[in-house]
């Protein structure tokens, strides 16, 4: 009797097993000393880049709006998390390091989310180049404001120094905790993109006038996406602050935002899989070329130009990797001779019916 393909429940179980196996590999190479602190630092940086790129892809790829101020939200989250951590210590609040790390990181994300709503309401009335310019200006405003805040320089709070880097931040970021934060971020963004809200956002991207005529609240959906993207950018900023231990206003600069936009375009706008691969690849590539310091930026630029020439839609386009689908293709290939039609409803069929 021919076996049926994976059901929805089995597909979820397969995904969970895959993530656990990946985490087990990470723990194995770290705990056995197979990788150095330098490599662990690169992995941490990759996780931060994945969170930033996937959250930005929600705005650029799913919503179809070009923004150049994502690092402004990252800086807001980073400084908010760092200053809150310092405030807790100054007030003598005793707390587990991991709990404090999670608390201030989420708080940084919420502060960035609030700013995302405040900026998104007026900014998202614009389109295309105009939206890109106003978000670019927002990032520069954030950088200048931070640079002129006394509490955001030196030791911070009442010991702050205007125009200086914020130093003395407790380095509480743990690679294992950050890995699970990255996993949760990607899962939540993937679920949002596949939900009815995500389909509404894609309808706005494809034809805003038709989407509005269909009863979709255009302004609400745009601001919602912008706020979610800002929240996760703030989360990435909080992680970055507690990993590096020092912050400078330049992290909110437009060049940093351009780097993340490149990662989104490189992987494929609308593909979270592409964002993950490009974030990891473009984070590791400069490190691999560090021995050729005089030429590594040239190689980096050439790779990007070649991608834009031969694959303008990005490496993955709109395609998403699915572990359950891969298993179905391997173990339950279609078109077997003499095989009867499978009457068991597959996960893809149920999902299509549900939609």
Predicted local confidence at residue 43, as pLDDT: 92
In the chain, % of residues over pLDDT 70:
91
Asked whether the predicted pLDDT for residue 343 surpasses 80, the reply is no
- Give a yes or no: residue 248 inside a domain: yes
Give the whole-angstrom CA distance, residue 23 versus residue 190: 19
Q: What is the mean pLDDT of the chain?
A: 84
pLDDT at 336: 45
Q: What percent of the chain has pLDDT over 90?
A: 30
pLDDT band at 342, cuts 50/70/90?
A: very low
**How many domains does the chain contain in total?**
1
pTM (two decimals): 0.87
Range(s) of the domain holding residue 89? 50-253
- Read off the pLDDT band of 318 (50, 70, 90): confident
At residue 49, the pLDDT reads: 93
pLDDT for the residue numbered 262: 86
Tens digit of pLDDT for each residue in 222-240? Answer: 999 999 999 999 999 999 9
pLDDT class of 334 with cuts at 50, 70, 90: low
Task: Please say if the pLDDT value at position 320 is more than 90.
Answer: no
Look at residues 49, 348, 319, 57 and name the one whose alpha carbon lies nearest to residue 201. Answer: 57
C-alpha to C-alpha distance for 243 and 169, rounded to whole angstroms = 9
Q: Is 219 helix (H, G, I), strand (E, B) or coil?
A: helix
Evaluate if residue 115 carries a pLDDT over 90: yes
Residue 322 CA to residue 327 CA, distance in Å, equals 9
Q: What are phi and psi of 247, to 5 degrees?
A: -135, 145
Tokens matching residue 33: 């000393």
Average pLDDT over residues 131-147: 88
The total number of residues written for the chain in this structure: 355
Q: Is residue 169 part of a domain?
A: yes
Per the structure block, which two tokens stand in for 100? 């404090």
| Domain assignment present for 284 | no
Q: Is the pLDDT of residue 337 over 50?
A: no
The answer to which of 86-95, 152-161, 288-297, 309-318 has the lowest mean pLDDT is 288-297
97 within a domain of the structure (yes/no): yes
Residue 99 lies in a domain: yes
Q: How far apart are CA 106 and CA 248, in angstroms?
A: 21
pLDDT at 325 over 50: yes
Asked if residue 231 belongs to a domain, the reply is yes
Which of 171, 169, 143, 162 has the alpha carbon at shortest distance from 87? 169
Q: Which of 131-145, 197-211, 326-340 shows the lowest mean pLDDT across its residues?
A: 326-340
In this prediction, residue 265 has a pLDDT band, given cuts at 50, 70 and 90, of confident
Task: Give a yes or no: residue 136 inside a domain.
Answer: yes
Q: Using one digit for the tens of pLDDT, what is the confidence trace for 252-263?
A: 888 888 889 888
Sequence-distant (≥ 6) Cβ neighbours of residue 89 within 8 angstroms: 170
Which pLDDT value is given to residue 269? Answer: 83
pLDDT tens digits, 51-102: 999 999 999 988 888 888 888 999 999 999 999 999 999 888 888 999 999 9
Domain assignment present for residue 353? The answer is: no
Under the banding of pLDDT at 50, 70 and 90, the label for residue 293 is low
Say which range, 150-154, 191-195, 272-276, 333-337, has the weakest mean pLDDT. 333-337
Residues 195-211 have pLDDT tens digits of 899 899 999 888 888 88
- Residue 249 pLDDT more than 90? no
């Amino acid at each position: 009797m021919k076996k049926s393909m994976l059901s929805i429940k089995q597909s979820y179980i397969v995904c969970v097993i895959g993530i656990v196996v990946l985490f087990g590999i990470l723990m194995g190479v770290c705990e056995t000393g197979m990788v150095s602190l330098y490599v662990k630092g690169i992995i941490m940086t990759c996780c931060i880049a994945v969170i930033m790129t996937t959250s930005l892809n929600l705005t650029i790829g799913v919503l179809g709006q070009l923004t150049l101020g994502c690092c402004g939200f990252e800086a807001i989250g980073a400084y908010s998390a760092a200053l809150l951590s310092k405030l807790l210590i100054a007030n003598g609040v005793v707390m587990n390091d991991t709990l404090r790390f999670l608390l201030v990181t989420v708080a940084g994300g919420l502060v960035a989310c609030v700013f995302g709503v405040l900026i998104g309401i007026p900014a998202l009335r614009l389109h295309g180049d105009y939206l890109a310019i106003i978000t670019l200006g927002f990032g520069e405003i954030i950088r200048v404001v931070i640079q002129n805040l006394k509490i955001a320089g030196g030791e911070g709070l009442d010991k702050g120094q205007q125009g200086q880097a914020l130093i003395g931040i407790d380095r509480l970021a743990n690679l294992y905790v950050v890995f699970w934060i990255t996993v949760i971020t990607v899962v939540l963004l993937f679920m949002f993109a596949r939900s009815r809200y995500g389909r509404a956002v894609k309808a706005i991207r494809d034809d805003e006038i038709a989407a509005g005529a269909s009863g979709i609240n255009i302004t609400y959906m745009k601001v919602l996406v912008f706020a979610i993207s800002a929240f996760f950018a703030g989360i990435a900023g909080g992680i970055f602050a507690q990993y590096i231990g020092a912050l400078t206003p330049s992290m909110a600069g437009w060049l940093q935002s351009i780097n993340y936009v490149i990662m989104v375009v490189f992987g494929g706008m609308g593909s979270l899989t592409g964002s993950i691969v490009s974030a990891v690849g473009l984070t590791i590539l400069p490190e691999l070329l560090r021995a050729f310091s005089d030429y590594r930026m040239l190689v980096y630029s050439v790779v990007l130009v070649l991608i834009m020439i031969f694959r303008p839609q990005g490496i993955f386009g709109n395609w998403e990797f699915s572990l359950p689908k891969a298993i179905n293709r391997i173990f339950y290939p279609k078109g077997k001779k003499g095989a009867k039609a499978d009457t068991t409803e597959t996960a893809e069929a149920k999902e299509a019916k549900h939609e």
